[in-house]
Amino acid sequence: MTTTTTRIAIVTGAARGIGAGVAKRLAADGLAVAVVDLDEAAGKPVVEEIERAGGRAVALGIDVSDERAVRAGVARIAQELGAPTVLVNNAGILRDNLLFKMTADDWDAVMNVHLRGSFLMSREVQKHQLEARWGRIVNLSSTSALGNRGQANYSAAKAGVQGFTKTLAIELGKFGVTVNAIAPGFIETEMTAATAERIGVPFEELKKAAAAEIPVARTGTPEDIAHAVSFFVSEGAGFVSGQVLYVAGGPKA
Protein backbone atom coordinates (compact mmCIF):
# COMPACT_ATOMS: atom_id res chain seq x y z
CA MET A 1 0.00 0.00 0.00
CA THR A 2 1.19 3.49 -0.78
CA THR A 3 -0.87 5.10 1.97
CA THR A 4 -0.29 5.02 5.69
CA THR A 5 -3.91 4.07 6.35
CA THR A 6 -4.93 0.44 6.03
CA ARG A 7 -7.93 0.09 3.75
CA ILE A 8 -10.73 -2.22 4.83
CA ALA A 9 -12.17 -4.49 2.14
CA ILE A 10 -15.27 -6.66 2.02
CA VAL A 11 -15.33 -9.61 -0.36
CA THR A 12 -18.62 -11.49 -0.67
CA GLY A 13 -18.78 -15.15 -1.62
CA ALA A 14 -15.23 -15.37 -0.31
CA ALA A 15 -15.17 -18.85 1.23
CA ARG A 16 -14.04 -20.49 -2.00
CA GLY A 17 -13.26 -20.01 -5.66
CA ILE A 18 -12.85 -16.53 -7.08
CA GLY A 19 -13.88 -14.85 -3.82
CA ALA A 20 -11.26 -16.68 -1.78
CA GLY A 21 -8.60 -15.83 -4.37
CA VAL A 22 -9.58 -12.16 -4.28
CA ALA A 23 -9.63 -12.02 -0.46
CA LYS A 24 -6.14 -13.52 -0.24
CA ARG A 25 -4.78 -11.18 -2.92
CA LEU A 26 -6.20 -8.05 -1.30
CA ALA A 27 -4.77 -9.15 2.06
CA ALA A 28 -1.39 -9.64 0.39
CA ASP A 29 -1.76 -6.11 -1.02
CA GLY A 30 -2.02 -4.82 2.55
CA LEU A 31 -5.76 -4.47 3.06
CA ALA A 32 -7.66 -5.87 6.03
CA VAL A 33 -10.34 -8.18 4.64
CA ALA A 34 -13.82 -9.21 5.72
CA VAL A 35 -14.34 -12.69 4.27
CA VAL A 36 -18.10 -12.83 3.76
CA ASP A 37 -20.09 -15.90 2.82
CA LEU A 38 -23.48 -17.36 3.63
CA ASP A 39 -21.91 -19.53 6.33
CA GLU A 40 -19.39 -17.85 8.64
CA ALA A 41 -17.58 -21.12 9.40
CA ALA A 42 -16.93 -21.68 5.68
CA GLY A 43 -14.86 -18.50 5.52
CA LYS A 44 -12.63 -19.30 8.49
CA PRO A 45 -10.05 -21.37 6.55
CA VAL A 46 -9.52 -18.39 4.23
CA VAL A 47 -9.10 -16.09 7.25
CA GLU A 48 -6.61 -18.50 8.82
CA GLU A 49 -4.59 -18.61 5.58
CA ILE A 50 -4.53 -14.81 5.44
CA GLU A 51 -3.46 -14.58 9.07
CA ARG A 52 -0.69 -17.15 8.59
CA ALA A 53 0.66 -14.95 5.81
CA GLY A 54 0.70 -11.96 8.19
CA GLY A 55 -2.55 -10.34 7.10
CA ARG A 56 -5.66 -9.30 9.01
CA ALA A 57 -9.10 -10.72 8.29
CA VAL A 58 -12.41 -11.75 9.83
CA ALA A 59 -15.05 -14.21 8.63
CA LEU A 60 -18.72 -13.26 8.61
CA GLY A 61 -21.87 -15.08 7.60
CA ILE A 62 -24.14 -12.72 5.67
CA ASP A 63 -27.03 -13.49 3.33
CA VAL A 64 -26.37 -10.64 0.89
CA SER A 65 -29.98 -10.73 -0.32
CA ASP A 66 -31.27 -10.02 3.21
CA GLU A 67 -31.46 -6.28 3.95
CA ARG A 68 -31.24 -6.60 7.73
CA ALA A 69 -28.38 -9.09 7.55
CA VAL A 70 -26.42 -6.77 5.26
CA ARG A 71 -26.95 -3.77 7.51
CA ALA A 72 -25.92 -5.70 10.64
CA GLY A 73 -22.98 -7.39 8.90
CA VAL A 74 -21.45 -4.19 7.53
CA ALA A 75 -21.87 -2.54 10.93
CA ARG A 76 -20.02 -5.45 12.54
CA ILE A 77 -17.21 -5.19 9.98
CA ALA A 78 -16.88 -1.45 10.70
CA GLN A 79 -16.63 -2.25 14.41
CA GLU A 80 -14.20 -5.18 14.16
CA LEU A 81 -11.93 -4.10 11.30
CA GLY A 82 -12.71 -0.46 10.60
CA ALA A 83 -14.87 1.46 8.14
CA PRO A 84 -14.96 -0.52 4.87
CA THR A 85 -14.16 1.50 1.75
CA VAL A 86 -13.46 -1.38 -0.65
CA LEU A 87 -16.24 -3.74 -1.73
CA VAL A 88 -16.01 -6.72 -4.06
CA ASN A 89 -19.47 -8.05 -4.93
CA ASN A 90 -18.64 -11.62 -5.86
CA ALA A 91 -21.36 -13.72 -4.18
CA GLY A 92 -23.24 -15.78 -6.71
CA ILE A 93 -25.22 -18.95 -7.32
CA LEU A 94 -26.27 -20.98 -10.33
CA ARG A 95 -29.75 -22.33 -11.07
CA ASP A 96 -29.19 -23.30 -14.69
CA ASN A 97 -31.95 -24.62 -16.91
CA LEU A 98 -33.48 -24.08 -20.30
CA LEU A 99 -36.23 -21.47 -20.29
CA PHE A 100 -39.14 -23.92 -20.47
CA LYS A 101 -37.77 -25.85 -17.49
CA MET A 102 -36.74 -22.83 -15.40
CA THR A 103 -38.93 -22.17 -12.39
CA ALA A 104 -39.78 -18.76 -10.97
CA ASP A 105 -37.82 -19.77 -7.87
CA ASP A 106 -34.77 -20.51 -10.06
CA TRP A 107 -35.09 -17.02 -11.53
CA ASP A 108 -35.68 -15.22 -8.24
CA ALA A 109 -32.86 -16.98 -6.36
CA VAL A 110 -30.26 -15.94 -8.94
CA MET A 111 -31.56 -12.36 -9.18
CA ASN A 112 -31.66 -12.01 -5.39
CA VAL A 113 -28.05 -13.03 -4.82
CA HIS A 114 -26.41 -11.38 -7.83
CA LEU A 115 -28.41 -8.18 -8.29
CA ARG A 116 -30.23 -7.51 -5.04
CA GLY A 117 -27.13 -8.59 -3.11
CA SER A 118 -24.85 -6.24 -5.05
CA PHE A 119 -27.34 -3.41 -4.54
CA LEU A 120 -27.75 -3.95 -0.80
CA MET A 121 -24.03 -4.33 -0.12
CA SER A 122 -23.11 -1.31 -2.25
CA ARG A 123 -25.75 0.89 -0.66
CA GLU A 124 -24.54 -0.01 2.81
CA VAL A 125 -20.82 0.40 2.09
CA GLN A 126 -21.15 3.67 0.16
CA LYS A 127 -21.98 5.45 3.43
CA HIS A 128 -18.46 4.71 4.65
CA GLN A 129 -16.93 5.55 1.27
CA LEU A 130 -18.63 8.94 1.11
CA GLU A 131 -17.45 9.75 4.62
CA ALA A 132 -13.89 8.84 3.62
CA ARG A 133 -14.23 10.59 0.23
CA TRP A 134 -12.58 7.51 -1.25
CA GLY A 135 -13.77 4.09 -2.29
CA ARG A 136 -13.59 1.16 -4.66
CA ILE A 137 -16.43 -1.13 -5.73
CA VAL A 138 -15.71 -4.08 -8.01
CA ASN A 139 -18.68 -6.12 -9.22
CA LEU A 140 -18.33 -9.59 -10.69
CA SER A 141 -20.13 -10.01 -13.99
CA SER A 142 -19.47 -12.84 -16.47
CA THR A 143 -19.02 -13.55 -20.15
CA SER A 144 -22.49 -15.12 -19.76
CA ALA A 145 -23.80 -11.53 -19.79
CA LEU A 146 -23.38 -11.82 -23.57
CA GLY A 147 -25.78 -14.78 -23.59
CA ASN A 148 -25.36 -18.45 -22.71
CA ARG A 149 -27.64 -21.41 -23.33
CA GLY A 150 -29.39 -22.63 -20.18
CA GLN A 151 -28.58 -19.50 -18.22
CA ALA A 152 -31.38 -17.00 -18.89
CA ASN A 153 -31.44 -16.05 -15.20
CA TYR A 154 -27.66 -15.90 -14.70
CA SER A 155 -27.05 -14.09 -18.01
CA ALA A 156 -29.71 -11.50 -17.24
CA ALA A 157 -28.32 -10.97 -13.73
CA LYS A 158 -24.74 -10.58 -14.97
CA ALA A 159 -25.82 -8.15 -17.70
CA GLY A 160 -27.73 -6.25 -15.02
CA VAL A 161 -24.57 -6.05 -12.93
CA GLN A 162 -22.91 -4.18 -15.79
CA GLY A 163 -25.66 -1.55 -15.97
CA PHE A 164 -25.61 -1.27 -12.19
CA THR A 165 -21.82 -0.75 -12.29
CA LYS A 166 -21.96 2.04 -14.87
CA THR A 167 -24.74 3.86 -13.00
CA LEU A 168 -22.93 3.74 -9.65
CA ALA A 169 -19.77 5.01 -11.36
CA ILE A 170 -21.74 8.06 -12.51
CA GLU A 171 -23.38 8.65 -9.12
CA LEU A 172 -20.39 8.06 -6.85
CA GLY A 173 -17.49 9.42 -8.89
CA LYS A 174 -17.59 12.90 -7.43
CA PHE A 175 -17.05 11.40 -3.97
CA GLY A 176 -13.77 9.73 -4.96
CA VAL A 177 -15.38 6.33 -5.47
CA THR A 178 -14.69 4.24 -8.56
CA VAL A 179 -16.98 1.40 -9.62
CA ASN A 180 -15.91 -1.24 -12.13
CA ALA A 181 -16.91 -4.73 -13.19
CA ILE A 182 -14.93 -7.81 -14.10
CA ALA A 183 -16.48 -10.40 -16.42
CA PRO A 184 -14.61 -13.68 -16.07
CA GLY A 185 -14.60 -16.35 -18.74
CA PHE A 186 -14.03 -20.01 -17.87
CA ILE A 187 -12.47 -20.08 -14.40
CA GLU A 188 -11.51 -23.31 -12.62
CA THR A 189 -13.69 -23.29 -9.50
CA GLU A 190 -16.07 -25.55 -7.60
CA MET A 191 -18.88 -23.85 -9.51
CA THR A 192 -17.54 -24.84 -12.93
CA ALA A 193 -16.76 -28.32 -11.58
CA ALA A 194 -20.41 -28.58 -10.51
CA THR A 195 -21.49 -27.53 -14.00
CA ALA A 196 -19.39 -30.33 -15.47
CA GLU A 197 -21.04 -32.80 -13.10
CA ARG A 198 -24.49 -31.50 -13.96
CA ILE A 199 -23.99 -32.01 -17.69
CA GLY A 200 -22.27 -35.36 -17.18
CA VAL A 201 -18.79 -34.43 -18.44
CA PRO A 202 -15.54 -35.04 -16.50
CA PHE A 203 -14.16 -31.70 -15.28
CA GLU A 204 -10.78 -32.23 -16.93
CA GLU A 205 -12.53 -32.91 -20.22
CA LEU A 206 -14.64 -29.77 -19.87
CA LYS A 207 -11.53 -27.69 -19.12
CA LYS A 208 -9.73 -29.15 -22.14
CA ALA A 209 -12.67 -28.37 -24.42
CA ALA A 210 -12.91 -24.82 -23.04
CA ALA A 211 -9.17 -24.19 -23.44
CA ALA A 212 -9.38 -25.22 -27.09
CA GLU A 213 -11.74 -22.27 -27.69
CA ILE A 214 -9.70 -19.71 -25.72
CA PRO A 215 -7.01 -17.71 -27.58
CA VAL A 216 -4.44 -18.03 -24.78
CA ALA A 217 -5.07 -21.81 -24.87
CA ARG A 218 -5.82 -22.29 -21.19
CA THR A 219 -8.65 -21.87 -18.73
CA GLY A 220 -8.52 -19.23 -16.02
CA THR A 221 -7.87 -19.44 -12.29
CA PRO A 222 -9.17 -17.42 -9.33
CA GLU A 223 -5.74 -15.76 -9.22
CA ASP A 224 -6.30 -14.34 -12.72
CA ILE A 225 -9.43 -12.57 -11.50
CA ALA A 226 -7.80 -11.53 -8.22
CA HIS A 227 -5.02 -9.79 -10.15
CA ALA A 228 -7.58 -7.71 -12.06
CA VAL A 229 -9.43 -6.85 -8.84
CA SER A 230 -6.12 -5.79 -7.29
CA PHE A 231 -5.64 -3.28 -10.12
CA PHE A 232 -9.14 -1.78 -9.84
CA VAL A 233 -8.77 -1.47 -6.05
CA SER A 234 -5.32 0.12 -6.22
CA GLU A 235 -4.68 3.76 -5.41
CA GLY A 236 -3.38 4.28 -8.94
CA ALA A 237 -6.62 3.21 -10.63
CA GLY A 238 -8.54 6.30 -9.53
CA PHE A 239 -9.19 7.47 -13.11
CA VAL A 240 -10.67 4.15 -14.20
CA SER A 241 -14.39 3.88 -13.49
CA GLY A 242 -17.54 2.49 -15.06
CA GLN A 243 -15.58 -0.12 -16.99
CA VAL A 244 -16.30 -3.78 -17.69
CA LEU A 245 -13.11 -5.82 -18.04
CA TYR A 246 -13.49 -9.22 -19.68
CA VAL A 247 -10.89 -11.52 -18.14
CA ALA A 248 -11.45 -14.43 -20.45
CA GLY A 249 -8.22 -15.21 -22.26
CA GLY A 250 -9.30 -13.41 -25.39
CA PRO A 251 -11.50 -10.60 -26.74
CA LYS A 252 -15.19 -10.40 -25.91
CA ALA A 253 -17.76 -7.96 -27.25
**Which of 216, 184, 169, 143 is CA-nearest to residue 21?**
184
Q: 189 by DSSP, 3-state: which?
A: coil
**Which of 9, 181, 5 is CA-nearest to residue 86?**
9
List helix spans (H) across the chain: 17-28, 40-52, 67-80, 104-111, 117-132, 152-172, 190-198, 203-212, 222-233
Q: Cα torsion at 77, 81, 87, 88 (round to 10°)?
A: -90
**Which of 62, 54, 50, 53 is CA-nearest to residue 23?**
50
Q: Which of 119, 154, 164, 246 is catalytic?
A: 154
Cα dist from 229 to 3, 98, 117, 179, whole Å:
18, 32, 19, 11
Q: Is 246 a catalytic residue?
A: no
Catalytic residue positions, numbered:
154
